[in-house]
Amino acid sequence: MNKWAIAMMMGTLLGSGIEAGEYTGNFSGSLGNKSLDDKDWQDVDSQGTIGFIADFKKDSWPVSLSIDGFISAGDDVSSDELDLDFPEVDASTSGIHLGVRKIWNLEQYTFSPYIGGGLAFVSGSQERMVDSKRKDESDTATGVWLGAGVYWRPYESLNVGLDIRYSQAEVTLFDEEVNAGGLQTGIFVGYSF
């Protein structure tokens, strides 16, 4: 089953939960940065990231189910000089992170810290000059992710917060295994129900 089918299935579950009224959850848009291994992603190891963070739980569950999705991209803006070890690379990664999230709702505060983890379904692609021709390769892999963050609710249904996570998933690009995961930080704004 591919990652988009899983995302649609989770979205359907989330939608049915809202209608039933027995579920609580959060849905937020996220902006941030992803830092990849500079040996694997030289000159494109810092990538801008956009995505979403979502979770939901039945009132009786101890943890929330989470589904998060991200796309990141980097552009090599270094000089025109040819680096024979790693010439002219543009790159991107994307992923769906499925798992669980433990959220502590501190009633006396408007802050709710959380931790989470699970499976990461990741894609990675790089574009390079090879034999004076521009070539690109992409690959997908399954890995893991761990993260933490905090929700701040200045109003009843508004979420603002910070998310930090690390993911690990090895893809093969240009006959080399590279980690398409990395350390990712982001801020988010969204809706709590």
Helix (H) or strand (E) holding 115: strand 111-130
The first and second tokens of residue 38, run together, are 């500079």
Rounded Cα gap, residues 59 and 77, in angstroms: 49
Rounded Cα gap, residues 89 and 92, in angstroms: 10
Q: What integer pLDDT is reported at residue 135 of this predicted model?
A: 86
DSSP state of 40: T
Mean pLDDT of the region 67-80: 79
Give the angle subtended at the CA of 92 by the CAs of 89 and 93, to the nearest 5°. 140
pLDDT tens per residue, range 117-158? 999 999 999 987 777 788 889 999 999 999 999 999 988 899
pTM summary value: 0.82
Residue that wins the pLDDT comparison between 139 and 81:
139
Mean pLDDT of the region 110-120: 96
Look at 71-75, 77-81, 99-103, 139-143 and tell me which has the smallest mean pLDDT: 77-81
Residue 87 binned pLDDT confidence (cut-offs 50, 70, 90): very low
Rounded Cα gap, residues 90 and 22, in angstroms: 46
pLDDT tens per residue, range 91-108? 999 999 999 999 998 878
Residue matched to tokens 């929330």 = 64
The first and second tokens of residue 63, run together, are 């943890």
At residue 80, does pLDDT exceed 50? no
Q: Could you tell me the domains of the chain?
A: 3-192 (2.40.160.20)
Backbone angles phi, psi at 85, to 5 degrees: -80, -35
Rounded Cα gap, residues 20 and 13, in angstroms: 11
Mean pLDDT of the region 46-62: 95
